[in-house]
Amino acid sequence: MDLTPTTREELAEALAVASDDGRTVAVRGGGTESRRGRPCAADDSVCTLALNRVVDYAPADMIITVEGGALATDVAALIGAKGQRWASADIRPGATVGGILSAARTGKRRLRQGAVRDSLMEVVVATGDGRLVVGGGRTVKLVTGFDLPRLMVGSLGTLGVIVQATLKLWPDPMASSWFTAEGDTTDMLALANDVLAAYHRPAAVIVRPGAMDACIEGAPEDVVAPDGARVSVEPANPEGTGLVEMGVPPAALAAIVRRLDQAGEVFEAWMGTGICRVAVTDAREVASVRALATEFGGHAQILDGPDDLRADPFGPVPPGAEVMRRMRAAFDPAGILNPGLFAAEVTT
C-alpha cells in the first residue's frame, strides 16, 4: 500500500487496516528526515503531503493551526507576511510541520527561542491502530492532564502520525543579524563567553573550528557586532558523510570543543544549550563522538547518514526504555509505525 490520504480520517482508517493485518507502515512527509534511525524497510507507506491545509490563523493571538503535511516554508511565508515567525523551528526546504515536530528539529536560535517542543500547543494524532487523539489546548489555561504534545515531539512517528498542530508564534524582531569572528579555539571560546555575558539573551552563540558565530536580535541599537566580528549569515551544518548530534550538560561544551578541535573534527557547538553537532565519516568516528558525549554525562545520536552508518543510530538504550515501550504499546499496539525509528527498540 502506498497511500497519500487527503483527510485525517482516511489516514486513520489506513493505519487501522494495516494494524489489523500486522503490516508495518513508513510515514513520510517531505523526506528531509529519511536518513534517521535504523535502515529498515516497511510493508506499506503513507505520505502526509496532501494533509496541508491551514485550519486557522489568528495573527492577533500569534497562533496558527495547520495540518501535519503542510510545508514549513509555506507556513513561514504566510506568517511572515504578518511579521511573525515559527522562531524555534529548523525550517528547511521540503520539511513539513509534522516532520519538524516528530523529529524535534529545533533551529540554531534555540538559546533565545527555546526548543521546538515549547511551540506546540495542541496536537491531533492518528495512532497506529487508527484512533484520532487530541492533546493540549489552544490556550495555556486549557492545557491539563497528560502532555501529549511534548510526547509526540521527537518520537519520530513511532507513536502516531501528527495530522494537525497548533503552534505558538513569535513576532519578528525589530533587528536581527549574524556575526562571525575568526581565531583559535581558546580565543573563540573566550569570545563566546563574552557574548553570552554582554548581550541580553543572544539568539545563538556557536563555536566551530576557527570561528565563533553569534546571532543578535532586538532593538536596532542593540544589534551590534561583538569585538572583532563581522556581519555574516547563519552557518551551515557541519558537512561529512553523516552528522551526529551530542546532547550534554551546557557547562561541558567548552571542554568538548577543545577535545574535538584537538582531534581535528568538524563540529559546531551551540554554547549555552548543550548541543554539539559533529560531521562523521565512519562507524569508528561515530563511536568516538558517542564515547566523548558519554564521558561528559550526555548522549549522541545520528541525525543524518547513509545506511551503513546507521546500524546503531541511537546508542545505548536509555534508562527509561521500559516506560517508552509501554507508551508505544498504548499508542501503537501492533508496533507498525516507522520500523527502525524507535529508540528503545530491542534488536538482536
Structural domain boundaries of the chain? 2-171+324-331, 175-309
pLDDT of residue 196: 94
Phi-psi region of 340 (alpha: psi -120 to 50; beta: other; left: phi over 0): left
Closest CA to 100 of 38, 45, 31: 31
Q: What is the mean pLDDT of residues 40-52?
A: 96
Weakest mean pLDDT among 92-101, 142-151, 178-187 = 142-151
| DSSP-assigned letter for residue 309 | G
pLDDT of residue 251: 96
pLDDT of residue 117: 96
Weakest mean pLDDT among 136-145, 176-185, 306-315 = 136-145
In this prediction, what percent of the chain has a pLDDT beyond 70?
Answer: 97
Q: Is the pLDDT of residue 122 over 70?
A: yes
pLDDT of residue 137: 85
C-alpha cell at 25: 507502515
Domain 2-171+324-331 part of CATH 3.30.420.310: no
Q: What is the mean pLDDT of residues 125-145?
A: 81
Q: Is the pLDDT of residue 119 over 70?
A: yes
The end-to-end CA distance of the chain, in Å, is 28
Helix (H) or strand (E) holding 324: helix 321-331
Tens-place pLDDT, residues 5-33: 999 999 999 999 999 999 999 999 999 99
pLDDT of residue 138: 77
Q: What is the mean pLDDT of residues 334-345?
A: 93
Tens-place pLDDT, residues 241-286: 999 999 999 999 999 999 999 999 999 999 999 999 999 999 999 9
Name 308's Cβ contacts closer than 8 Å, sequence gap at least 6.
283
Query: pTM for this one?
Result: 0.94
Please report which confidence band the pLDDT of residue 140 belongs to, taking 50, 70 and 90 as the band edges.
low
C-alpha cell at 127: 495512532
Please report which confidence band the pLDDT of residue 306 belongs to, taking 50, 70 and 90 as the band edges.
very high
Tens-place pLDDT, residues 167-183: 999 999 999 999 999 99
Tens-place pLDDT, residues 223-241: 999 999 999 999 999 999 9
pLDDT of residue 145: 55
pLDDT of residue 38: 94
540554531: which residue's cell? Answer: 108
Q: How far apart are CA 245 and CA 36, in angstroms?
A: 12
Q: How far apart are CA 22 and CA 128, in angstroms?
A: 11
Q: Considering the chain, what is the average pLDDT of its residues?
A: 94
Long-range CB pairs of 79-85 (<8 Å, 24+ gap) are 79/169, 80/172, 83/171, 83/172, 84/59, 84/169, 84/170, 84/171, 84/172, 85/169, 85/170, 85/171, 85/172
Q: What is the mean pLDDT of residues 97-102?
A: 98
Please report which confidence band the pLDDT of residue 198 belongs to, taking 50, 70 and 90 as the band edges.
confident
